[in-house]
Amino acid sequence: MLPAPAQAGVFQLANPNDSVIGAPFYVTARKEDTLFDIGRFYGYGHDELKLANPKVDTWLPGEGTEILIPNKRILPSGPREGIVLNLAERRLYFYRSPNEVEMFAAGVGRDGWETPVGTYSIIEKRENPTWTPPESVRRDHAARGSILPAVVPPGPDNPLGAFAMRLSNPSYLIHGTNKPDAIGMPASAGCTRMFPEDIERLYQQVPVGTTVRIVDQPYKVGWQGNRLYLEVNALTDEVKSRPVERLIPTSIANAEGVFIDWDEVRRVQQENAGIPRLIGGRQGATSWHRLDAVF
Residues annotated as catalytic (active site), given as ranges: 175, 191
- Residue 28 makes CB contacts below 8 A (sequence gap 6+) with 64, 65, 66, 67
The length of the chain, given as a count of residues: 295
DSSP assignment, residue 117? P
Say how far apart CA 186 and CA 145 lie, in whole Å: 21
| Listed residue (132, 117, 42) closest to 84, CA to CA | 117
Strand, coil or helix: what is 143?
Answer: helix
Sign of the Cα torsion 28, 31, 35, 41 reads negative
Please give the C-alpha separations between residue 190 and each of 114, 116, 166, 183, 193, in angstroms, as whole numbers. 5, 7, 12, 13, 9
